[in-house]
Amino acid sequence: MDKFEYFSGLPEVGIVPRAPHVGPLLQHVHEQEHGRGGFAGRVSHTYHLYPPNNWLPGETLVVEDWAPHWESPLRPLGGVHHALGVARPPEPSDVYRGMARLVANATVAMNVTAPTAPMDYFFEHHSATLVVFVHEGGGTLETLFGPIAYGRGDFLVVPKGIPHRFECAAGPQYYWVYESFAGDPEKSEAPTTGQFITHSRSDYRFPRTLDTRNEAGRFEIVSKVGSVYTRRVHPTHPFDVVGWRGDYLPYRFAVEDVRPLTADRSHVPPSGHTVFTLPGCYLCVFTVRAAEKEGMWLPFFHRNLDYCETIGYHWGDFFSRGGVIREGMVTVHPVGLPHGPQPAALQVFMDGHRPTLHREVGIMADFANPARISEYALGLSQPDYMQSWGAYTTDPRFTHRAGRLGEVRAVAEGLADARDELRPRSDTP
């Protein structure tokens, strides 16, 4: 025993050798490496009671139509905004069999699942790291590295290849599931604002409780590579891990731990609310925050020329949508097509009303060009969403009138050079 205690350079739990690949312990436990980048990237090692490839001979088979909506055909997307209603699977289905694809580009996909049945298998995604957002529900995510309890408003990051299983609690469950095919999510932070905005790595919760299973039986693992689903059967429980070490790990991150950047005098653009960057996508959280005290507190009209925007509406008032969107819905705004506040919201702004708080939580995932939408998503699309801006063509406040140009010229005489109230003044001591 050393006189003092020390941290090692890598997280570790349980029984592990002094270093990967070395020492006499490896004659008694079975080391497995989980490595990215062709053994040159991030890596973890798990130490098992039994060899991890002890599958039963002759029992491995490709399963056809295992998760049909997950493979919903993708269609080109453009020129029309979509608001997707809340998905309800027609038959009892578990987290993965009931998964339905909504939007995808070459490197990232967004899916939805509303499980009502337990998983009687373990799952490994061999093509993607998963970022799950729990819109509704909770339970325990059982993983090779130990269990992670989760609830409403949690992100769960499950790295590519890691065996896991959702043990859902009683009650409704509704998750948005993002697949990242080309890399793991990276924490977003701007060089000028540092590592604690919009959250801290100390907010991540990695499993630390090993739940080692020394059990015999028939344990099914379903893996996914692209659209190929394969089932294999093992005679021992896959979570026979007595220890692990490394930094390639699943974790939980609570949306309530997002501490957003706000600005009194300018509207922070959506990208300022990014929490994770993925190859070809960035994930943002619009959360409860102080409203701007001056200037635009609504989003400006905009067209995003390189990204298709999706927002999953989790909780709140969704001020800019003018009451059109309910919790659980997803909007899809394709590249290039202008959008912005609904007329009712813009009227509130023009009338000079200003909230003190933005009371909303929305999860935005923006997909780099080209993005496509699934047939399943088109089936959820609300036919009247494009009409939600319709008052811009009927409300006299927004429609053509002969004197409009003159009005703007007149008002600009006094307002074009108007200064902020909050600025430092030359007459202030």
Give the angle 371-133-87 at the CA atoms, nearest 5°.
70
Count interface residues toward Fe ion (CB under 5 A).
1
CB of 269 to Fe ion, least distance (A): 10
Judged by beta carbon, residue 148 or residue 311, the one nearer Fe ion is 311
Instruction: Check residue 390 and report its DSSP letter.
Output: G
Among 31, 189, 292, 309, binds Fe ion (CB under 5 A): 309
Closest contact distance (angstroms) between CB of 177 and Fe ion is: 22
In angstroms, give the least distance from the CB of 364 to Fe ion.
Answer: 8
Where does this chain touch Fe ion (CB under 5 A) — which range of 97-105, 234-242, 307-315, 365-373? Answer: 307-315
Q: Among 63-71, 166-174, 306-314, 404-412, which window interacts with Fe ion (CB under 5 A)?
A: 306-314
Q: Closer CB to Fe ion, residue 292 or residue 309?
A: 309
Stated as kind and residue range, the H or E segment containing 349 is helix 343-350
Please, what is the minimum distance in Å from the beta carbon of residue 214 to Fe ion? Answer: 52
As measured in angstroms, the least distance from the Cβ of 244 to Fe ion is 41
Block residue for tokens 């453009």? 78
Shortest distance (Å) from residue 299 CB to Fe ion: 7
Q: Which is nearer to Fe ion, 257 or 309 (CB)?
A: 309
- Interface with Fe ion, residue 360, by CB under 5 A: no
C-alpha–C-alpha distance, residues 296 and 157, integer Å: 35
Per-residue binding string, Fe ion, 318-357, x by CB under 5 A, is ----------------------------------------
Q: Quick one: 99 or 332, whose CB is closer to Fe ion? A: 332
Segment near Fe ion (CB under 5 A); pick from 60-68, 254-262, 308-316, 409-417:
308-316
Nearer to Fe ion by C-beta: 240 or 309? 309
Residue with smallest beta-carbon separation from Fe ion: 309
CB 297 within 8 A of CB 291: yes
Strand partners, 245: 12, 45
Find out whether 280 and 368 touch, Cβ atoms under 8 Å. Answer: yes
Residue 268 to residues 54, 189, 256, 416: CA-CA distances in angstroms? 53, 14, 19, 22
Residue 389 Cβ vs Fe ion, minimum distance, rounded to whole Å: 13
Query: What amino acid is encoded at 174 in this protein?
Result: Y
Distance between CA atoms of residues 311 and 406, nearest Å: 39
C-alpha distance from residue 271 to each of 151, 285, 299 (Å): 26, 10, 12
CA–CA separation, 203 and 254 (whole Å): 8
**234/347 Cα distance (integer angstroms):** 62
| Residues in CB range of 428: below 8 A, 6 or more apart | none
Please choose, out of 66-74, 178-186, 239-247, 302-310, the segment that lies near Fe ion by the rule CB under 5 A.
Answer: 302-310
In the complex, least distance from residue 334 CB atom to Fe ion, rounded to whole angstroms: 10
Q: Between β-strands 148-150 and 251-254, what pairing exists: parallel, antiparallel or unpaired? A: unpaired
**Residue closer to Fe ion (CB basis): 142 or 309:** 309
CB of 328 to Fe ion, least distance (A): 19
Residue 72 tokens read as 């919903």
The residues that bridge with 177 in the sheet, in sequence order, are 111, 132
Closest to Fe ion by CB, 170 vs 305, is 305
Q: From 13-21, 72-80, 305-313, 411-419, give the range in contact with Fe ion by CB under 5 A.
A: 305-313
- The rounded distance, in Å, linking the Cα atoms of 385 and 49 is 56
Residues that bind Fe ion in the complex, under the rule CB under 5 A: 309
